[in-house]
Amino acid sequence: TSPQHDAPRAVNVDLQTDATLQVDISDALSERDKVKFTVHTKSTLPNFKQNEFSVVRQHEEFIWLHDSFVENEEYAGYIIPPAPPRPDFDASREKLQKLGEGEGSMTKEEFTKMKQELEAEYLAIFKKTVAMHEVFLCRVAAHPVLRKDMNFHVFLEYNQDLSVRGKNKREKMEDFFKNVVKSADGVLVAGVKDVDDFFEHEKTFLLEYHNRVKDASSKSDRMIRSHKSKSPHCLIISTCLGKFFLKVSELFEKTRKIEARVAADEDLKLADLLKYYLRESQAAKDLLYRRGRALVDYENANKALDKARAKNKDVLQAETSQQVCCQKFEKISESAKQELIDFKTRRVAAFRKNLVELAELELKHAKVIFYYTWLSISDSIKSVSQPAVIGSPIGWSTIGPVSSGFGRCRPSF
Amino acid sequence: MAASSRRNPPPLPGAENQDPLSEMADEDSDEGEDIFVGNSNPVAEAFQPDTANGEEPADLFSEAETSTAVNSSITTSKSNGVHSDNENDLFAEVSVELSMENPSTTAKSSGAEFTPSLTRSATQPESMEQLEEEKDEDSFDMEVAVTNPEKIGDGMNAYMAYKVSTRTTLPMFRNRTFSVWRRFSDFLGLYEKLSVKHSLNGCIIPPPPEKSVVGMTKVKVGKDDSSSADFVERRRAALERYLQRVVCHPSLLQDPDVREFLERDELPRAVGTHTLSGAGFLKMINRASDAVSKMTIKISDSDAWFDNKLQEVESEELQLRKLHAVVDSLVNHRKELCGNTAVFAKSMAMLGNSEDNTALSRALSQLAEVEDKMETLHQEQAASDFFILAELLADYIRLLGAVRGCFEQRMKTWQRWQEAQSTLQKKREVEAKLLWANKPDKLQQAKEEITEWEGKVTQYERDFDRISVTVRKEFLRFEKEKSKDFKSQIVKYLESLLQSQQRHVKFWEAFLPEAKAIA
């Protein structure tokens, strides 16, 4: 039976895959403190030497690519696909460590079960980070302009190390200050009322939306954590109960596993969705900021030109400067409108897809739990140990097993 | 109600309605491993779908009734229209069925502790088998309920009064149905009286719920919030279970104190129950000395049955304690999840508001509502965990303590016998010495003492045999009751889980089309 979950690339974004350029992450390896992604490309474009090839990339190289887009003036008018978050296994590792330390205080059974679960959690985080990186690449590949970017092609094709090092302390400090300046400026720029109704509306909308998504994202994280933290208690209950009520203990165990799945699904379909759109709405806001900045520059250039003309001094200079600003502004405006419309379409489609899938999964899990509970009750009445009859009368496809294998993960798409 | 009109979920492989209990597993009821094995007919009657559970539809005693002041959160959820009523009846509370020896053969003295069957089997060790498979004959209907908690008085002198209603066909009561008002200390007083009279015989006296200064103070002070309502409900349910266990016990039911408790309009205030009274101190001292003696006595019993059972009881008690602690923390966790879900739902609603695509906006609001409903479900589930599961465990932890006490009584009796034997031995030695020393007057006294102690030894030995038989019988009865009890409570718990899940399914089913409608 095929695993139930879909290709993660389609999790948060609805993309048309184009035969001329297809990118995916075919493999990934988790090492001590880094993850190595195997980026696989299939393309009919003439730019590439071959039609199909793979390279190995690390997280820093993704960041480098993203940053190169952001810094490129040519792309000021586009929503830059948000960079994938850094792979973070710290929390999971910590839990595993704590489990190892607490090994003496629980029975062997409990320990094995919890270890399995923590390993599954680790694996889930791993799969997610792979998916996030993949989504980034796919968004770039799907974008009509960005897919032609030189750096992108190098990223895809160059099979040596890109020698991209992570930012050192000084550079990080520079970034930090840049961001401070930028957000201050952003407030300034946002204060300027736009002539264009569409953009004015988008500005207000995005601001509110972004904040609410941020809130929803953090609240959903907390809720799902609560969901997950119930699991160890249920585990102990089910092992304790096992000594008394075999049937109920079995039910508890089954229910627990399913509820863990529910939490994982909620995490994937809801929490990740919200997180992703938090980042994308930020990218959209950034676009608006850039446009706003360009508008302010344009208006300033106009004023400067008027002044120059009045004084009849450096008029040519002022004119060229004004021209440049005008072109920049108009270029951004033109593409920004379409970008924002596309963003909306993508967002609606992604939410639809994920909410539908979430509802279907919740429904399926609830039905399964219902069935198991019902079986348990009728078993209890009969007081006869019955062989497990799970799965056969209903014909639900079995929930895809979490693949074993701790370090090397083959994402099953 | 037809047995076939059950739930609408997938059909079970194999018919389950025909004769559920004819396929009982053949296990020794002595084991206690899988508690769902019981061989008693009352169980069959309770769960047979064809049993006319509709005898007393509007009666106090059927659990389907929700209009009384008894507002257990579990029963109210049954009135949710989602669930068909047929299913409720199937799991209606097992009415306490008593197995009684023919009342006419019971000893007429008020302190009758031993039913005729006991003397019968005391003489034949091989009838132990008979004891163990004793069928419940002559089951009479006897039901008690504790309802309508009412606060009487005000301030620190206030107390809660509970209505104790009895319905019975037993001739020893004046009426068939009657009710009285009792307060918590009355229940404790009953326990004290029964303890004094019966515990020395090795009876397992059901312990009452614990006193709670904190809980009661809140109620007295009039703190009108859910925690004191919960407390009162907990106590009411615990008192009811306590009383049901008492009347379920064939020997205890015979006790006039029990009868008086159930029937008499005004009960003299029980004085021995206050923690700081003389009786209270005495209890504390006794308990301390018991703890010491427990460590030192070890019966060199040829019958290893008692040793094994005591060990079982002790380990079971430990396990139940552990389980109880975990269930408690589970309840807390569910409450936390509740809170977080509610917060998330609000956040979702806000997001839906700011979304400018109408269909998506509506879907997000719907999602917020679903999550809100989830929160309610979680809360109910936590209540169910608590009221059904945790309370069951707490009850049995206390009961196992009482069982242990029972075994200890037996040990004390043995010790007394042994001590009498050694005293007799000493007296005989004295007599021998006197014979040798030829002191006739002292000899006479020594002989008298010897006769006296010989009598005591015989009596104590008989006592020990008697208590051994009682303890054994009581224990087996206890195991059977425990089995029934756990089973019915677990089924109740599973039922509530099931209902909760069904609503879970309904909520998401309602949401799915909304999600699909996004465009």
Q: Is A251 on the interface with B (CB under 8 A)?
A: yes
Residue of A nearest to B393 (CA): A241
In this prediction, residue B283 carries a pLDDT of 58
Over pLDDT 70: what percentage of chain B? 65
For tokens 């769960």, name the residue: B47
| Helix, strand and coil percent figures for chain A, each rounded to 5 | 70, 5, 25
Instruction: Return the minimum-mean-pLDDT range out of A75-79, B62-66, B150-154, B323-327.
Output: B62-66
Chain B: closest CA distance from residue A122 (Å): 23
- Whether A406 contacts chain B with CB within 8 A: no
Could you tell me if B356 lies within 8 Å of chain A, comparing CB atoms? yes
Give the pLDDT of residue B300. 61
B177-183 sheet: strands from edge to edge: B97-99, B139-152, B159-168, B177-183
Longest CA–CA span in chain B (Å) reads: 118
Q: Do A240 and B38 touch (CB under 8 A)?
A: no
Task: Name the more confident of A7 and A241.
Answer: A241
- A219 reaches B (C-beta below 8 A): yes
- Identify the pLDDT of residue B281: 54
Hey, is the C-beta of B7 within 8 angstroms of any chain A C-beta? yes
Domains of chain A by start residue, with CATH: 196-386 (1.20.1270.60)
Q: Which amino acid is at B341?
A: T
Q: Is A27 helix (H, G, I), strand (E, B) or coil?
A: strand
pLDDT (0 to 100) of residue A133:
93
Q: pLDDT confidence of B438, banded at 50, 70, 90? A: confident
Does A341 reach chain B within 8 Å, measured CB to CB?
no
Mean pLDDT of all residues belonging to chain A: 80
Q: What are phi and psi of B148, to 5 degrees?
A: 45, 65
pLDDT, one tens digit per residue, over A166-217 is: 667 888 888 888 888 877 887 777 777 777 888 888 888 998 999 999 999 9
Q: Which residues touch B33 (CB under 8 Å, ≥6 apart)?
A: B27
| Strand pairing category for B97-99 and B139-152 | antiparallel
Using the beta-carbon criterion (under 8 Å), do B323 and A241 form an inter-chain contact? yes
Across B50-57, average pLDDT: 34
Token reading at A210: 């972004």
Which residues have a Cβ under 8 Å from the Cβ of B259 and sit 6 or more positions away?
Answer: B172, B173
Residue A166: its pLDDT value, please?
64
**Apex A72 CA angle, A67 and A77, nearest 5:** 105
* pLDDT number for residue B138: 43
Q: Is B237 in contact with B72 (CB distance < 8 Å)?
A: yes
Average pLDDT, chain B: 70
Residues of A in contact with B488 (CB under 8 A): none
Instruction: Please list every residue in chain A whose beta carbon sits closer than 8 Å to the beta carbon of residue B363.
Output: 351-352, 355
User: How far apart are alpha carbons A232 and B379 in whole angstroms?
Assistant: 19
Q: Which residues of A touch B341 (CB under 8 A)?
A: 223, 226
* Residue B99, SS3 per DSSP: strand
Q: Measured between beta carbons, which residues in chain B are less than 8 angstroms from residue A230?
A: 330, 333-334, 337
A229 near B CB under 8 A: yes
The partner residues of A29 in beta bridges, in order of sequence, read A36, A408
- 3-class secondary-structure state, position B308: helix
pLDDT exceeds cutoff 90 at A283: yes
Is A236 in the B-facing interface, judged by CB distances under 8 Å?
A: yes
Q: Which of A382, A232, A391, A371 lies closest to B497 in space, CA to CA?
A: A371
- Cβ contact (<8 Å) for B13 and A383? no
A25-53 tens-digit pLDDT: 999 988 877 889 999 999 888 888 888 99
Q: Does B506 touch chain A (CB under 8 A)?
A: no
Q: Which residue of A has its CA nearest to B368?
A: A216
Mean pLDDT, residues B42-56: 34
CA distance A92 to A252: 25
- Three-state secondary structure readout of B163-186: EEEEEECCCCCCCCEEEEEEEHHH
- β-strand A21-30 against B139-152: which pairing, if any? unpaired
Whether B10 and A241 lie within 8 Å, measured CB to CB: no
Name which of B25, B47, B329 is nearest A384 (Cβ-Cβ): B25
Task: Give Dmax over CA atoms of chain A in angstroms.
Answer: 102
R_g over Cα of chain B: 28
Contact status of B26 with chain A (Cβ, < 8 Å): no
3-state secondary structure of B61: coil
B139-161 pLDDT, tens digit each: 557 888 888 888 888 777 778 88
Give the bridge partners for B162, in sequence order.
Answer: B182
Q: What is the pLDDT of residue A191?
A: 76
Q: Looking at this protein, which amino acid is placed at residue A206? A: L
Q: Which of B7, B319, B519 sits opposite A374 (nearest CB)?
A: B7
pLDDT tens profile A251-272: 888 888 888 888 888 888 888 8
Q: Residue A276 pLDDT more than 70? A: yes
pLDDT at B426 over 70: yes
